Amino acid sequence: MNKYQVDENGNYGKFGGSYIPEVLYQNFKELEEQYLAIIQDEQFQKEFNQLLRDYVGRPSPLYFAQRLSDIVGAKVYLKREDLNHTGAHKINNTIGQILMAKKMGKRRIIAETGAGQHGVATATVCALMGMECSVYMGETDVKRQFLNVQKMRMLGAEVVAVTSGNKTLKDATNEAFREWCNHPQDTFYIIGSVVGPHPYPDMVARFQSVISEEIKKQLLEQEGRENPDYLIACVGGGSNAAGTFYHYLDNEEVKLIEAEAAGLGVDTNMTAATITIGTEGVLHGSRTLLMQTEDGQIIEPYSISAGLDYPGVGPMHAHLATIGRAQVVAITDDEALAAAFELTRTEGIIPAIESSHALAALHKFDFKKDDVIVLTVSGRGDKDMPTYIDRFVQE
Ligand SMILES: *Cc1c(COP(=O)(O)O)cnc(C)c1O
């Protein structure tokens, strides 16, 4: 236990906690009492690690990017989560949670999704385990994300189009919670990031912590030391960042940089820079930083990247930023696009537009020549080709 991790009450400093409806009390009590023992169980670990290796394709490579390093003026290593099965880090978490659901005797899975990435990762593991799956998705997103919707259906999941509110991620999450309240007995809710009521943020961070576990070994092999000078990751809810930082949190020599989405700019109202402009409040069951009006109405976020387009952030990140353990930089749409093209042309890697926010952060700091930076490429850019093609046409 340390000051950067969750405490026994489910808090990260003044953030976190568990704000849940009465009908789910028993579910959370059960999960909270069992999750640590289940994760630490030898049989669970064996099954989890085997699937990460043989199904996901882990360990993901740690790649020294020579040409990118020359441009940045420091040593840049890329942690290649883009090479995972289904194309991003999200599968690490959905595998962990579906194994958890099985151990707890649940037979039906629900999940929320925005762009559909978490929905696809959940539908994938449900197909793998032969579990029933319903994915809640705002109607607006259903229309925008045709390919992911069809993938989920092909995988055997039911996609429920949510028509309340703005018909996007926040509304889909509300609806998934509502559905859970109606079926607390047999249903397990697989949350897609380090958000939601305790113990979800901690549970998801633990499943994603395989990222930093691998970085330590790989960097020692390649660089002769476990510790980089900097870790950089993009932050939507914050799960790939939590995984990247996890085993380094205590080690204060390792500086942590989080890139969030500025959208058109933090001082426009078209932004998703939650940590930069957010204030304290409760969203989806935990106390964190939120984009809200003075009377507590959620401000609809905007980012070019669907995966970063969330009005809250995981309580761990609200805490790390508030106490100064992590530095936060807000990256605009244009900066992210430029970084996507830069990586593509220097290294032959087309990154997800979310990951491109982390890449753009490489130009926001004065690094020294010998600095070792590990940056997590959270996903691949296939899903973002329409966005990138738009940019081409303008050029
Ligand atoms: C979903 C997603 C993100 C944002 O989620 P986090 O929980 O903040 O990691 C980032 N990158 C990719 C590729 C994603 O699919």
Structure token digits, residue 143: 């229309």
Q: Is 376 in the pocket of ligand 1 (CB under 6 A)?
A: no
Q: Is 148 in the pocket of ligand 1 (CB under 6 A)?
A: no
Looking at residue 198, the DSSP 8-state letter turns out to be: T
Buried b (16+ CB within 10 A) or exposed e, 185-223: eebbbbbbbbbbbbbbbbbbbbbbbbbbebbbebbeeeb
Query: How far does Cα 157 stand from its chain's mean position?
Result: 21
pLDDT, average across residues 354-377? 98
**In the prediction, which pLDDT does 392 show?**
79
**90 in active site:** yes
The 10s digit of each residue's pLDDT in 65-117 is 999 999 999 999 999 999 999 999 999 999 999 999 999 999 999 999 998 99
The 10s digit of each residue's pLDDT in 307-317 is 898 999 999 99
Which of 159, 127, 238 has the alpha carbon at shortest distance from 192?
238
The 10s digit of each residue's pLDDT in 214-247 is 999 999 999 999 999 999 999 999 999 999 999 9
The 10s digit of each residue's pLDDT in 198-219 is 999 999 999 999 999 999 999 9
pLDDT averaged over every residue in the chain: 96
**In the prediction, which pLDDT does 395 show?**
63
DSSP string covering 258-273, please? EEEEEET-TTSSS---
Q: Residues of the chain with pLDDT > 90: what percent?
A: 93
Distance in Å, CA 148 to ligand 1 centroid: 15
**378 in active site:** yes
Q: Which of 90, 106, 167, 383 is catalytic?
A: 90
pTM listed for this prediction: 0.98
* pLDDT over threshold 60, residue 1: no
Residue ranges of E strands in 139-236: 158-162, 187-189, 230-234
Domains, the chain, with CATH or none: 13-18+25-51+89-204 (3.40.50.1100), 58-88+209-394 (3.40.50.1100)
By mean pLDDT, which of 10-14, 47-51, 170-174 is the weakest? 170-174
pLDDT, average across residues 313-332? 98
**Is the model more confident about 274 or about 146?**
274
Distance in Å, CA 75 to ligand 1 centroid: 24
Whether residue 104 contacts residue 80, with contact meaning beta carbons closer than 8 Å, is answered with no
Which atom of ligand 1 lies nearest, measured to the CA of 114?
Answer: 1
**Is the model more confident about 310 or about 342?**
342
End-to-end CA distance of the chain: 51
Q: Omega before 351 cis (within 30°)?
A: no
The protein residue with its alpha carbon nearest to ligand 1, atom 14, reads: 307
* pLDDT over threshold 80, residue 289: yes
Which atom of ligand 1 lies nearest, measured to the CA of 238?
Answer: 8
**In the prediction, which pLDDT does 189 show?**
97
Distance in Å, CA 308 to ligand 1 centroid: 7
Which atom of ligand 1 lies nearest, measured to the CA of 239?
Answer: 7
Which atom of ligand 1 lies nearest, measured to the CA of 87?
Answer: 13
Q: Which of 81, 112, 258, 260 is catalytic?
A: 112
* pLDDT over threshold 70, residue 32: yes
* pLDDT over threshold 60, residue 174: yes
* pLDDT over threshold 80, residue 2: no
**In the prediction, which pLDDT does 361 show?**
98
Structure token digits, residue 198: 């305790």
* pLDDT over threshold 70, residue 394: no
At 391, the pLDDT band (50, 70, 90 cuts) reads confident
**305 in active site:** no
Q: Is 359 in the pocket of ligand 1 (CB under 6 A)?
A: no
Residue 395 neighbours by CB under 8 Å, 6+ apart: none
Q: Which of 18, 134, 239, 378 is catalytic?
A: 378
